[in-house]
Chain A
């Protein structure tokens, strides 16, 4: 029951109050009739009226009347102004126009009635900048805004500000990330910037290329080209490797989509990091030229490791090494065994024996670079190779190839190799007067460097069981013959004889871009059969040979240092983190300079970088701030080798699609139940009209119970007291 402004809220049921009222009325009437004869009609009536008045008041109290007052209040909405400050807002749309951001800033804080000032007179205004992230701005920050950063996430931004704001006003060209499903429906008034009719640009919008390619296998890169204002034009797309043209194709941009895709292919012939660029020549009238080129870095690896092995004679060393090499399906082995020397006498005509000519010229002057690894196994070069062949081998190694010298008495041709061009690249040299020794068997042991070198990090069952890397080599069979050599200063000895003078047995070194290994024994096969004789497997020997090959050919899986590049593309001005992980057994001492990190910019200049450790043991993060785009080199140097990777940093505006996307803005306004206001003349009025709809109002209601008044209680008491007094005076009590 609501009798505005007085409201009754009975404390008892209404029927009970009415019943009591009626009973009281009857009682008052009976009292009047009884007193009528005793006191006369005036006095009887007076007493009865007094009693009736008291009863009536009590009934009114039971009805609990309240006085209700209402007051209306209005609240002005908080307005969020979001300014898109991403890179695309820095573009102008031709015809001498200012940039989109500059136009937006002028609208907000310049002219006769700046939008911020006008709105803040009536409403609470919050200003935000949106690019890589949403950041709140003071009003004074707006004139200093610069266009930088990638597309902002508007869905996330609206979700963030929806608690404190009733309406959002967005100033953007439509290059935003937008996900309707994630968006909070904060009404958004959109003021568009940019003119699709006048904007002209050609850009490489995207490329699809593998991070890893195989040597001598066709590599295809998909390039998506987009245009604004050049529809129907045929454009050349060029693929270059350090300025050298690898592939080119023409692409015609279709009118309907504005995008076209073209495939560029080439066959990488060399292993290593390929720093490529894809570009489209600049066209007349383009707004942005930097987005006509994209850099990319692709690592080229061999699909199979191609090995050329020349063995000086049939031997167990050759057979077991061949067995090990053949057991690895990733190895493509071509071997020559010198079955007879010029001093051996042939007793049959040439067509009755299976010997083929040894094609030294073809192998060592023409085809050598098609191999990854050259192995000389106990091969006496002086009978077959001429100085130009040896020179070719030296160049092959210095250019990035790998070379292994394995064997016994002919291994170094009694020192003659030392005087040849190969002598320069070998990791060992002969000791005066000492050559090959085959007298008492010699055991070998790990050198300190060998204990942590990737070649000898064999994961055989014995090593793991014993927990001692040297234990395996104590079990290995002794060698019946070794060459007595000394390691060069630039070389690393991995295995050495265990007793007496520690003659190097397995020695490695880096030579130019290549790697060299010397295994100065022709009895390494005893390591294979020795373990079999002990009732163990042949895995250690097989793994040793596999790891020698993988180390020599720079197989990344063997790198003691792993570099993990960022998954998302690095860009200029953004701190870039690279994770460096050291495998077990590699000392990761940064503090004492044992490990050095260097970052080089595209000009080859070393730039500042920071190193910090992570909770993971042996893992670090190298951070640097690229100031410009291009291909950066990251180099890690450790006592056991070095690792270098390339990282492509996108330059300013590279890949930027700055075409105004007004359709997206319309879509956003519709889905947020906001308004799209392209006309800036009436902008303030339009915004105000819209904002007013979002105004909130509420009515304040106050309720004052009547019976809570002391005066009313006093009147009741007064009436009761008066009745009592008159009854006593008139002799009824």
Chain B
């Protein structure tokens, strides 16, 4: 015999699930100009820094003209709304389950047709756990392309700040990696746990210490975060002829 409470909760669950899968309604939801959409996947730990968004969005609004929303939407690759997410964030500590063929195809279309993915290994162990699984999946999603170290000339280092030092909760790599297709890098990958450096509790206290550089390293993490977000919204516009000489002059100062 099913209880009334159980019946109602099942009914609400079914309605919720139906609404979630109704394509027109899903496509009809509103999308701010910038918000974090975090990818939820099977296996591993998909959400190592659940409180990362607020501080970086605050910083973004304070420093830039970007119309951002302090909002984090959790998405799965099978959500059709994923195509309307300007900034797809993926993080993890451990190895995760391989994507299904359908998920790989969706992610391939998303990245090939203009979507952007920023992925972070928050453990920072090269060739282990999340790092190993993420590289494996990227090879499956974008065959023929490899994650490669982004050169200092890359637009992501110049999109807002002229990046001189690399921040993060940890300092595993003094560079970002990425997959570049033509002049656009739809996948940027960090192992320095930038989101860990951005994370703070509801009282404004930083959740993690940045080692070994301390607060300057956190500042650098924010700068890098802003640059990655600006890059995701402006592409390589800083490579335009009129901007490049200015940037070169400033870099040489």
Contacts and interface: CB of A to CB of B under 8 A. Distances in A.
A347 B63 CA distance: 8
Contacts of B241: 334
A326 B183 CA distance: 10
Interface string B141-153: 0000000000000
Contact of B233 (A319, A478, A528): A319
A322 B113 contact: no
B179 interface: no
Q: How large is the interface on B (under 10, 10 to 19, 20 to 34, 35 or more residues)?
A: 35 or more
A319 B114 CA distance: 9
Interface in B229-251: 230, 232-235, 237-238, 240-243, 246-247, 250
Contact of A339 (B30, B33, B83, B230): B230
Nearest to B155: A354
A529 B67 contact: no
A313 B66 contact: yes
A334 B83 contact: no
B22 interface: no
Contacts of B184: 323
Contact of B161 (A352, A480, A528): A352
A316 B237 contact: no
A655 interface: no
B75 to A, nearest CB: 12
B3 interface: no
A592 interface: no
Contact of A533 (B83, B159, B161, B234): B83
Given A315-B33, A339-B230, A522-B33, A345 B62 contact: yes
B161 A334 contact: no
Interface string A500-527: 0000000000000000000000110010
Given A316-B233, A480-B31, A354 B113 contact: no
Given A314-B66, A344-B65, A353 B161 contact: yes
B28 A354 contact: no
A652 interface: no
Interface string B33-60: 1100000000000000000000000000
Contacts of A354: 158-162, 238, 243, 246-247, 250
A356 interface: yes
B70 interface: no
Contacts of B65: 312-314, 338-341, 344
B105 to A, nearest CB: 9
Nearest to B183: A326
A60 interface: no
Given A334-B240, A353-B162, A529-B114, A438 B30 contact: yes
A478 B27 contact: yes
Interface in B77-105: 80, 82-84, 86
A339 B160 contact: yes
A313 B184 CA distance: 19
A441 interface: yes
A137 to B, nearest CB: 71
Given A441-B29, A532-B109, A533-B83, A340 B64 contact: yes
Interface in A524-548: 526, 528-530, 532-533, 535, 538
Interface string B163-202: 0100000000000000000011000000000000000000
A152 B171 CA distance: 90
B253 interface: yes
> Ordered nearest first, which 9 A-B pairs have the shortest CB separation?
A314-B233, A533-B83, A313-B65, A532-B113, A356-B246, A529-B83, A351-B250, A354-B158, A314-B234
5 contacts: A313-B33, A315-B67, A339-B64, A345-B63, A354-B243
Given A314-B234, A480-B30, 17 more contacts: A316-B33, A319-B114, A319-B233, A322-B237, A340-B65, A341-B65, A344-B65, A348-B223, A352-B164, A353-B162, A354-B162, A354-B238, A440-B28, A480-B31, A528-B114, A532-B109, A533-B84
